[in-house]
Structure 1
Amino acid sequence: MNIRQIAPDFSATGQILPEQMPAVAAAGFKSIVCARPDNEEGGQPAFDAVAKAAAAAGIGIVHIPVSGPLGEGQIIRFHDAWANLPKPMLGYCRSGARAGSLYATLSK
């Protein structure tokens, strides 16, 4: 994982594998937002597999798939997740860019 800190309570990274969840927990993350749609790329783990590993590690997780420009529904769901999930939060997608874009909507 190549984790980039964007703000004190939010970081972004590329795809997280279920077997990496202990490292995510050890890094201190309390919640995850997945901005990657399932089946975007071959070999990518399904969100359900990542969510099961997150739950086993005691990490809250939400799926807000983004495959194009951010829509109002995605922004509302992220703002709700931000308000209700514990921090620090880790966002991921293929590269981390879409997860970072979701976080950027907090300042609008």
Structure 2
Amino acid sequence: MEYRQITEDYAVSGQIAAEDVGAIKAAGFKSVICNRPDEEQPGQPSHDAIKAAVEAAGLAFRYIPVVSGQMTVENVEDQAEALDELEAPVLAFCRSGARCTNLYALVQERKRG
């Protein structure tokens, strides 16, 4: 599984599978955020399947679906709240990692005012 480190406490990746959770835990992540809506692409794992694997491994999970090209203020607020509440480091995933990266940038911009 590949991921891109954005900060010391936040990294992003493309779609993960339940089988990736062991590697995620071994990499030191404490929490996982899914920013990909279910059924965005045929055959992708559901967030419930990922959540079950993540929680079984003792990690925290949050589902904040963001429709590609349609990010909302609510998405940014939900992501900011999750980042405040979840134990770091956090791995966020979507289809490619781009939405997670853009969402993080907007959260940081919001914090700066």
Tell me if both proteins adopt one fold, taking TM over 0.5 as the criterion.
yes
1:60-79 to structure 2, matched below 5 A, reads 60-67=60-67, 68-79=69-80
RMSD between aligned alpha carbons?
Answer: 0.8
- Tell me the TM-score normalised to structure 1 length: 0.96
Q: Which amino acid aligns with 1:91?
A: A
Give deviations 1:30-74, integer Å, cap 9, x for gaps: 001111000011110000000000000111111111113321111
Matches within 5 A, 1:36-51: 36-51=36-51
Deviation >4 Å, runs of 4+: none
Indicate the percent of aligned positions where both proteins have the same amino acid. Answer: 44
How far off is 1:19 after superposition?
A: 1.1
Q: Secondary structure at the match of 1:28?
A: coil
TM-score (norm 2): 0.92
The answer as to 2:103 corresponding to 1:102 is yes
Q: Which runs of 5+ in 1 are unaligned?
A: none
User: What is the match of residue 24 of structure 1?
Assistant: 24
